[in-house]
Amino acid sequence: MPARRKPFKACRKCRALVDKNATECPHCGSRDLTEDWEGIIIVIDPENSEIAKILGFTKPGRYAIKVT
Ligand SMILES: [Zn+2]
């Protein structure tokens, strides 16, 4: 069985997860996208999410917990 490829790429700058066909991050405009990431966190309400505050996510969306 071939390894399944991830459906998303992560932005190295803000850690947002973007479609793997995307060429730039819709959150910060960075083109530094990578498939080398681990863990997904979904932020719905960053104002009231302690995790989002700790990790520094200020907009709702999908983010990678770790980007290498
Ligand atoms: Zn970004």
CA 63–ligand 1 middle distance (angstroms): 10
Instruction: Give pLDDT tens digits for 6-53.
Output: 889 999 999 999 999 999 999 999 999 999 999 999 999 999 999 899
57 lies in some domain: yes
37 in a known ligand binding site: no
* 8 Å CB contact between 43 and 29: no
Count of positions (residues) in the chain: 68
* Residue type at position 9: K
pLDDT tens-digit map of 47-66: 999 989 998 899 999 999 99
Q: How far is the CA of 1 from the centre of ligand 1 (A)?
A: 32
Q: Is residue 52 part of a domain?
A: yes
What values do phi and psi take at 53, rounded to 5?
A: -65, -45
Domain assignment of residue 60, yes or no: yes
Of the pLDDT bands very low, low, confident and very high (cuts 50, 70, 90), residue 5 is confident
Residue 11 annotated in ligand binding: yes
CATH number of the domain to which 63 belongs: 2.20.28.90
Residue 2 lies in a domain: no
Rounded Cα distance between 1 and 43, Å, is: 33
What pLDDT is recorded for position 2? Answer: 59
